[in-house]
Amino acid sequence: MAELHQTPASLCCCRKSLPVSGARCVGDSSQPSACPGPGAPRCPLIDVASASNFRCFQLRHFHLDLRLNFAVKEMSGWLVLDLVSVQPGIHTLILDSHSSLLIHSIDCKVPGSGQEEPVSLTYRVDPFTDYGSTLNISLPTSAVKPGQLIQITVRYTTTDGPAIWWLDSELTCGQSRPLVFTQGHSVCNRSFFPCFDTPAVKSTYSATVRVPDGVTVLMSASRSSYSKQDRVFQFSMEFPVPSYLVALVAGELQHVDVGPRSRLWAEPCLLSCAVKKLGGSVERWLGVAEELFGPYLWGRCDIVFLPPSFPIVAMENPCLTFIIASILESSEFLLIDVIHEIAHGWFGNAVTNATWEEMWLSEGLATYAQRRITTEAYGETFTCLETVVRLDALHRQLRLLGDNNPVSKLQVKFEPGVNPSTLMNLFTYEKGFCFVSYLSQVCGDYRRFDGFLRDYIAQFKFKSVVAQDLIDYFLCYFPELKDAAVAQREGLEFERWLNGCGPPLCEPDLSAGGALIQPVQDLCDLWRTGTPPDLQSLMSFDLSAWSTFQIVLFLDRMLDHSPLPHDVMLSLSSCYSSLFDGLNAEIQIRWLQMVVRNTFHPDLPRVRAFLHKHTSRMYTVPLYEDLVAGVMKCVAVEIFYQTQRRLHPNLRRTLQQILFQTTATPTNQNGLTLSVMPPSPSSSPSTSAQVPPPATTATASTAAATSAGTTAAIALRDVNVSA
């Protein structure tokens, strides 16, 4: 058993998990027979982020038939739901929807009943939260009987909803044709189509998409076909998925096959770069993952690279991962991001958290799986270095939030109305990883734990689970640990892991990464003395030979000690800034954050050049936040006015809020900010420029969790960012 490094943790508002019992365990024949499994009885599942009555129906399948209109930025068509009532006396179907959806009509049909014409239904749209509404559909009493299939058809048009991102040609990489993509995580797809928008519900789906000539459509589907004559794309997802994993992208896209089951898609100007960066690596990583966790269940493992306007780094849509093109220049980050999304093929997509309050079941397990893959493919030293970078970011965020902040729990209790996307943070990834890593250590052999994870996937595949399912299955799988009461081990109780605030109760031993990590710490120590180190002492540190993660760790730790004396910054710039100019954006942004936080004017032109070049959220927001927090707000406003035409409107609104920190900003008919100076400290609210308020959150500390610590935010990959 690896050494455990315990850290203190405080308990706060513990909440019991849902009980699970019954069913049989699969896998090792020596396992006891009374193990929890899919379909085992439990208390009714509650998802406060969904207004739907999903517990009253079984969703067998749904079909989308859509026409894309780029000129008016609309999708129009219909949705067909195949539903079976599972409870008697149900007369209303309640779906999650959004105020941006224009509902035209709804009708009902009972297949096999002899009914020739569908019955028109009455419906009502009610408010729910700021991220959705409720679509209440009255059902005919004669049609709704337990066990009987009914088909509900909803005709609708999308407008400007949070799930659908229309890009004018100027915002694409090639700048020749417009592009549209959807982003459903966590609760956005209710603005794409009415649905049971909860991860607790999974179903198969199909789609027909009609587009103008020259447009290629891709979806997160296992099968597809195209009729060139009719300009119609057909899709079918034969495996059940939750609503948030239904995704679409359409534009000028081309592909190259890079493996027997993997294909890279991108705009023509990006494709060769993507192929050069990834090549045959995808198939290699898939093979390693299959050796560890069992067969890849989704058939295809394609990747599409999207323009910088994509609001997150990557999204694990099954069969078709979405990745921001900006990450292509950072090879090590690209590697980690793609492997993480591949890991979601098992953890998150095949077995899904049943509620957003337990996102760690997806992200924590996927992060653990990602690190098992990189350990097998690239060695333990590399994996330990990457893990140290992330755990540093976790502790940085904890210092900002405090150990007693409830957002640091693995099981976060959502208040009604809180958008789950606003509560995505490093804890779901890294504290979740530490808990899973602890489970692997207490069973004594990580290879044994690999076997457990293989059987866990086999048992629960295509199901949605709660934490208690995982824990009960773990204790069933390792009866000796159950007999030893490992779940109640003092100071490391499972209940405390799940419901306690603060840092992980223990962290894995990362000493195997010492050969890469120790030189970084030694260099940090040289620069932290308060005076510039002599050049002789720096001779043994050749940063040009360091990996990206080593330099990132060095800059992150130096950022932790900012502000630095001016002569130290002068010496740092003299030694490294020219080197950093030729390295990737993950390194450059950290150096530029040091420049801004230390008000180091000689390197300010580098900040300007970076923000003129990069238009993605992950590279702009942290720098703008730092500029505004210091004495360089006027510089930030000037750069914003110069670059706003190249920013997506959603990012533009975010930056307006950062710059002007009020409720509305004057814009012209194109949504561009008019040239007004930011308010001075003495300006009254009535004369200050204003922007829309931030998304509602449960508490002030929750809001802090989503924005505190820009360095921590950079380290957090594939996390949904609210527009």
**Tens of pLDDT along 439-454?**
999 999 999 999 999 9
Residues 482-508: pLDDT tens digits?
999 999 999 999 999 999 999 999 999
> Which residue ranges make up each domain of the chain?
47-160+184-224, 352-499, 513-660
Classify domain 513-660 at the CATH class level. Answer: mainly alpha
316 in a known ligand binding site: no
Contacts for 231-237: CB closer than 8 Å, 24+ residues apart: 232/208, 233/207, 233/208, 233/209, 234/206, 234/207, 234/208, 235/206, 235/207, 235/208, 235/209, 236/204, 236/205, 236/206, 236/207, 237/204, 237/205, 237/206, 237/318, 237/319
Among residues 429, 576, 619, 624, the one annotated as catalytic is: 429
Q: How many CB atoms lie within 10 A of CB 417?
A: 14
Domains 47-160+184-224 and 352-499 agree in fold: no
Residue 692 pLDDT level (bands cut at 50, 70, 90): very low
- Single out the residue of 361, 375, 326, 544 nearest to residue 453, CA to CA: 361
What tokens appear for 301 in the block?
A: 């493992």
CATH 1.10.390.10 holds for 352-499: yes
In the 8-state DSSP scheme, what is residue 684? -
Cα–Cα dist 564/549, whole Å:
22
Average pLDDT over every residue of 501-526: 98
What tokens appear for 97 in the block?
A: 């929807």
344 in a known ligand binding site: yes
Q: Which fold has domain 47-160+184-224?
A: Immunoglobulin-like (2.60.40)
What tokens appear for 400 in the block?
A: 């900002």
Residues 380-416: pLDDT tens digits?
999 999 999 999 999 999 999 999 999 999 999 888 8
Among residues 252, 267, 332, 341, the one annotated as catalytic is: 341
Q: What was the pLDDT predicted at 671?
A: 52
* Catalytic-residue membership of 429: yes
* Torsion angle (degrees, nearest 10) of CA 207, 212, 215, 218: -10
* pLDDT above 70 (res 128): yes
* pLDDT above 50 (res 252): yes
Q: Are 466 and 362 in contact (CB under 8 A)?
A: no
* Catalytic-residue membership of 625: no
pTM of the model: 0.89
Q: How many CB atoms lie within 10 A of CB 226?
A: 15
Minimum mean pLDDT range among 361-365, 480-484, 691-695: 691-695
Cα–Cα dist 85/89, whole Å:
9
- Mean pLDDT score of the chain, rounded to an integer? 88
